[in-house]
């Protein structure tokens, strides 16, 4: 098979700056056509990709020379255009947010099955090197039983574009939220989480959608997962904090460090019911000097968790978009199963629906 022929709907920040910029460099793919309502964006695409351009997506869906449609349209058009493309006989990669309701996800999954086409969702942050490192360290067991995972996609910024409007499916939950939610639900594992959510809209946002999200996921025999997606955090500190019974981890987008107790080290001190005292008889505080084993990413050192558990930390220069398209290529060409499936993203949409239900101040109709 030759290069996969691609049509991209939308030449905005996702359609051009993520999908277009990457696909133009990958010889396994060829951009055949794009769609955008703005003439200057169409003209730029023709020059940059050597492709054809349409003002109306229906013209693209009428073509016979496309293998894959990338739906990078406005968020509130994702469901409608993805369904039309599937029914027109195309494999579809839909940008996030995939949808806003579980019922829409079920409808799209059924439509793809009936058409016999591949339906994928662009959740490339699953391949982020910092996230793969977090996964690897947790799975290694060196941190012990995981009690809490805190994820913070925070900053302090004001916005005034269409992504601040609920009518366009804007707001932090659906704009930025799909990335930390996908990672969180991957770490959560099987089962449906219990959900608690608080959302707010501050004067930093020009629209009516939320720019503050506090989301907590819990479940039986699961760690508590605390997610913040805030545009009003003036002192953001990293992306991840992991609390384990034997140690912990902290990570940013470019580095991670973890430390943990040596399981072969000193045994846990015996419980004493009598008051503790120093050698001179004065009261003593219960404490000890802990010798930590440590690990670091991107550079693993002998004796750290990487060496102890025989895994190789992810490389910091990993291209998330490239990894996603490599995965998708194997599915489209070799028939390999998708690693990120619409069924997995369905759980995310259930969380989104519950968050909306709990915040009638922003979403009076859920």
Residue 29 neighbours by CB under 8 Å, 6+ apart: 3, 4, 6, 23, 68, 325, 329
d(CA 70, CA 88): 14
Same domain, 77 and 154: no
Domain presence at residue 366? no
Q: Are residues 281 and 241 in the same domain?
A: yes
User: The domain spanning residue 80 has which CATH number?
Assistant: 3.40.50.720
- Measure the CA–CA gap between 163 and 184, rounded to whole angstroms: 23
Confidence of residue 309 (pLDDT cuts 50, 70, 90): low
User: Strands 240-244, 247-251: parallel, antiparallel or unpaired by DSSP?
Assistant: antiparallel
Q: Answer yes or no: do 54 and 78 share one domain.
A: yes
Residue 305, pLDDT > 80, answer: no
Number of domains in the chain: 2
Residue 142 lies in a domain: yes
In this structure, how many other beta carbons lie within 10 angstroms of the beta carbon of residue 321? 16
pTM, full prediction: 0.91
Looking at the fold, whether 336 and 302 belong to one and the same domain comes out as no
Q: Are 26 and 322 in contact (CB under 8 A)?
A: yes
Pair (198, 133) in one structural domain: yes
Packed helices 342-357 and 102-115: angle between N→C axes, nearest 10 degrees = 160
pLDDT for residue 306: 52
Compute the half-sphere exposure of residue 102: CA atoms within 13 Å on the CB side of its CA.
13
152 forms beta bridges with 228
pLDDT tens profile 251-277: 999 999 999 998 777 777 888 899 999
Report d(CA 133, CA 64) in Å as an integer.
Answer: 42
Final residue in a domain of this structure, among 285, 309, 333: 309
Beta-carbon count within 10 A of 263 CB: 11
End-to-end distance of the chain based on CA atoms, in angstroms? 46
Q: Which residue has the higher pLDDT, 167 or 114?
A: 114
Look at residue 354 and tell me if it is in a domain: no
In a domain, 359, yes or no: no
Residue 150: band (very low, low, confident or very high) from pLDDT cuts 50, 70, 90: very high
The answer to whether residue 346 sits within a structural domain is no
Q: Is 182 found in the same domain as 234?
A: yes
CATH of the domain at 284: 3.30.360.10
Residues 39 and 166 in one domain: no
User: What does the mean pLDDT of the chain come to?
Assistant: 92
Is 352 part of a structural domain of the chain? no
Are 130 and 112 found together in one domain? Answer: no
Concatenated DSSP letters for 213-267?
A: EEEEEE-TTS-EEEEE--SB-SS---SEEEEESSEEEEE-SS-EEEEEE-TTSPP
For 203-242, what is each residue's pLDDT tens digit?
A: 877 889 999 999 999 999 999 999 999 999 899 989 999 9
The reported pLDDT for the residue numbered 315 is 66
**Cα 94 to Cα 75: distance, rounded to the nearest angstrom:** 10
- pLDDT above 90 covers what percent of the chain? 79
Q: Are 34 and 7 in contact (CB under 8 A)?
A: yes
**88 and 114 in contact (C-beta within 8 Å)?**
no
Pairing mode of beta strands 68-71, 91-94: parallel
Tell me whether residue 356 is in a domain.
Answer: no
- Whether residues 100 and 228 fall in one domain: no
In terms of residue numbers, what domain contains 204?
A: 126-309
Whether residues 274 and 139 fall in one domain: yes
- The mean per-residue pLDDT over the stretch 273-291 comes to 88
If you compute the radius of gyration of the chain from its CA atoms, what whole number of angstroms results?
24
Within a domain: 84: yes
One domain, residues 155 and 68: no
Asked if residue 176 and residue 112 are part of one domain, the reply reads: no
pLDDT band at 127 (very low <50, low <70, confident <90, very high): very high
């Amino acid at each position: 098979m030759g290069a996969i022929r691609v049509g991209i709907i939308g030449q905005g920040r996702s359609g051009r700056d993520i999908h277009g910029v990457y696909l133009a460099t990958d010889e396994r793919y060829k951009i055949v056509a794009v769609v955008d309502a703005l003439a200057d964006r169409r003209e730029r695409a023709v020059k940059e990709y050597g492709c054809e351009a349409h003002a109306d997506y229906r013209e693209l869906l009428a073509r016979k020379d496309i293998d894959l449609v990338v739906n990078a349209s406005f968020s509130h058009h994702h469901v409608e255009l993805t369904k039309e493309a599937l029914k027109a006989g195309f494999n579809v990669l839909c940008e996030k947010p995939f949808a806003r309701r579980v019922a829409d996800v079920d409808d799209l999954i059924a439509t793809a099955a009936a058409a016999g086409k591949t339906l994928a969702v662009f959740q490339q942050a699953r391949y982020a090197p910092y996230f793969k490192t977090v996964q690897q360290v947790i799975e290694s067991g060196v941190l012990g039983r995981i009690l809490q995972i805190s994820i913070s996609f925070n900053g302090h910024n004001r916005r005034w574009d269409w992504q601040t409007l609920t009518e366009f499916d804007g707001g932090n939950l659906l704009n930025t939220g799909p990335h930390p939610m996908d990672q969180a639900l991957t770490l959560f594992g099987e089962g449906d989480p219990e959900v608690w959510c608080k959302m707010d809209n501050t004067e930093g946002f020009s629209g009516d959608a939320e720019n503050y999200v506090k989301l907590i996921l819990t479940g039986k025999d699961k760690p508590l997962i605390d997610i913040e997606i805030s545009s009003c955090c003036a002192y953001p500190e990293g992306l991840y904090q992991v609390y384990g019974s034997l140690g912990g981890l902290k990570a940013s987008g470019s580095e991670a460090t973890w430390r943990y107790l040596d399981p072969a080290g000193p045994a846990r001190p015996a419980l004493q019911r009598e008051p503790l005292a120093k050698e001179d008889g004065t009261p003593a505080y219960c404490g000890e000097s802990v010798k930590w084993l440590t690990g670091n990413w991107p550079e693993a050192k002998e004796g750290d968790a990487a060496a102890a558990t025989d895994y190789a930390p992810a490389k910091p220069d990993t291209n998330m978009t490239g990894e996603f398209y490599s995965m998708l290529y194997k599915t489209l060409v070799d028939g390999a199963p998708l690693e990120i499936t619409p069924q997995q993203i369905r759980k995310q949409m259930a969380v989104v629906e519950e968050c909306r239900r709990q915040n009638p101040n922003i979403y009076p109709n859920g």
